[in-house]
Structure 1
Amino acid sequence: MEDCIFCKIIRNEIPSTTIYEDDYVKVFLDISQVTPGHTLLVPKVHVPDIFAYDETLAAQVFSRVPKIAKAIKASDPNIVAMNIANNNGELAYQSVFHSHIHFVPRYSKKDDFWIHWGDHTDQYTPEKLQTIADNIKAHLEV
């Protein structure tokens, strides 16, 4: 394991408020609590981001997402929605370079969290979209 903050949390060298743990993942409250219940799921093996996952690790980590999301939602009747995010790379707002998944419970439009999705529909013809899709398909590992 690496010497990152999440590896230290996994090894119990740094305290955390743990919600769930098994052989593959540790789930704990984020100290920032963007909204109450903001939770992180981290693989116990150190991988910097999604690009370092293999299929086995992905199955182990992502198969636990619904269980954690349902438990968080059930924990508070005021939770009306939830953002689940996995940031990969500094430009994508990843600040700890040990892969992790955020669960951000949503209580109202007035909570302290928002995402902006730019709409550039008018800039993409069907042909341009097909070119992008074909380029991605050419790089799929079969």
Structure 2
Amino acid sequence: MDTSGDPCVFCDVVEGRTEASVAFRDDVVIVIMNGNPVNPGHAVVVSRTHASGLEDLDDEVGAHMWCVARRVARGLRRCGLRCEGVNVWLGDGEAALQEVFHTHIHVFPRFEGDNVVFDADCEPRNRRLLDQEALVLKEAMKSIAPIATP
């Protein structure tokens, strides 16, 4: 449930106030088919608890979401829909193209000639710059609680 007071389409789906084509549900997530799919079979793993982004997401819920996303990907390869590969995508924040501010993971089949384009101008980075970036990230991560391991 979205506690911000703003309407949240995924909270509405989770609560049954909005129709959705449900592929899977448990106590932690719901998997729905995307109404504007990249390709047929495009599914979205949605946390049942509202978390606007990764910063707000409980570690255990996030880990479960990943496990379910992986299971969806495996299912796409077996279900009979055209699927020669799978993309798993999560946008966290407006700059990362997140449109619905309720944490969710897209899982969609890919195949040769599907016209899906990811366009980035990636350039090789100097090792010294990579080392500097690693150091500042390492320092920032020290302030975050460690991941619980099984």
Measured against aligned partners, the alpha-carbon deviations of 1:52-106 in whole angstroms (never above 9, x if no partner) come to 1232222222221221111122112631001110001111111111111001111
State the match for 2:13 in structure 1: 9
Measured against aligned partners, the alpha-carbon deviations of 1:87-137 in whole angstroms (never above 9, x if no partner) come to 0111111111111100111122x213111232210xx22111100000000
Range moving further from structure 2, 47-56 or 89-98: 47-56
**What amino acid maps onto 2:97 in structure 1?**
Y
**What amino acid maps onto 1:30 in structure 2?**
N
Mapped partners of 2:127, 2:99: distance in 1: 36
> What is the Cα-based RMSD across aligned positions, in Å?
1.3
The structure 2 residue matched to 1:47, chosen from 51, 73, 82, is 51
State the match for 2:130 in structure 1: 129
CA contact (8 A) 2:40 2:81 kept: no
Mapped partners of 1:8, 1:59: distance in 2: 23
State the match for 1:71 in structure 2: 75
Distance change >3 Å, CA 34–CA 77, structure 1 → 2 = closer
- Please say if 1:32 is aligned against 2:36: yes
TM-score, L = length of structure 1? 0.91
Measured against aligned partners, the alpha-carbon deviations of 1:24-76 in whole angstroms (never above 9, x if no partner) come to 00001000022001110000000011121232222222221221111122112
State the match for 2:101 in structure 1: 97
Identity %: 24
Aligned residues: 139
State the match for 1:138 in structure 2: 139
Q: What secondary structure sits across from 1:104 in the alignment?
A: strand
After superposing on structure 2, the runs of 4+ consecutive aligned residues of structure 1 that deviate more than 6 Å are none
CA contact (8 A) 2:73 2:107 kept: yes
For 1:78-89, list aligned pairs within 5 A: 78-89=82-93
CA contact (8 A) 1:35 1:112 kept: no
Mapped partners of 2:111, 2:120: distance in 1: 20
Q: What secondary structure sits across from 2:140 in the alignment?
A: coil
Q: What secondary structure sits across from 1:103 in the alignment?
A: strand
CA contact (8 A) 1:21 1:27 kept: yes
